[in-house]
Chain A
Amino acid sequence: MSSAAIKRNGRKSKAARFAKTFTLRLAFYFLLCALSFIFLYPFITMIVKSLMTDDDLVNITVKWLPSELTWSNYAIAYRRMGFSRYIWNNVLVGAAATIGHMFSCALTGYAFARYNFKLKNVLFVIVILMMIVPVQVIIFPLYKQYSDWKWLNTFLPLLVPCFFGFGLNGGFFIFLFRQFFMGLPYEMEEAARVDGCGPIRTYARIMLPMAQAPMLVCGVLSLVWHWNDYFEPGIYINTKPDLRMLPSILPSLYALLNQENHTMIQVNDLEGIVFNEAMLMAATFLCIIPIMIAYLFLQRRFMEGVERSGLTGM
């Protein structure tokens, strides 16, 4: 074989390889786009529907593009659900519960990661059980207990358990912090100890400042989960309208539209406002807008935090 033939062969295989990688890459992007479309589909439907007019809703030819963007739906939904009033309840509960989780779960996780003590295994089984036992199993005893303590129709049943490492997914957060602290080197603490630092000071001054990554993950997840939760608020706070939270207003709005055997597109409100499905979608979207804005700001650091928090080791 002459050298020219080898050269030609080489070039040909290079072109073939390029074509192969190109097709592979195309298939890859196509698959990725298809998957993200499935993820975004209900979300996009919600936004599109929230901008429709009355006519668009009943017109089956209108599926993706509303004939005109009806922003007034948002204004009506905003007023109808008392957004400006109830959002502060959400913010308050979300912030307080998140702080509680960050404080208590970090402490507990640290103890499990760094100390050997009597009954450690037994206590760790309790942490695992905390993750596995659904709140629905113990909801009635808790309800009875809170009603005995006169905690019903306040935010206390939602907030106080968080400060003791319980509350929504408390076990998960304890586990998160334990995994993170287990991955840290011992040298830092030992150095602090040698220099005469007590255990609590070591924790507060040396270990906690290093735990920014799991703190962020815990903070974001706790905030999001508390924001969306409507199960517990719906049970503990049900007779005091002032303390309602945004997601627990939605069911009543949905029920309002469903009164007329699902055929009714719009309902005349007591105040004379016509309420239709588009406004309902607008209300639903309004509920999650604050959390989405917050996430957009935190997104990059959150992902980094997940990667660094060492959740991966069992």
Chain B
Amino acid sequence: MVPLSWYIILSAVVFSIGVIGFLTRRNLIMTFMSIELMLNSVNISFVAFSHYLQSMRGQIIVFFVIAVAAAETAIGLAIIIAYYKNNPTIKVDEINLLKG
């Protein structure tokens, strides 16, 4: 039997990888994937707690998160393509339209 803390540590590690990837990678696609990683790390802890507490609520929320992540991916990729058509770059440091 794997104890709950292992799942939580795994989730924290995956989440941290996501955060660091998001902050450091310069490729827009990679940044995007880092966000997916963070979402999935949360899914891990939801499922782990669901099993530990013998409650289905966590698993239901996981389905919601997966659905939202799918929609987010679809829209996010569409935005990236639209942006690329106007400005032929996907380097994060060159995208600064909101600069004050």
Q: Do A and B bind each other?
A: no
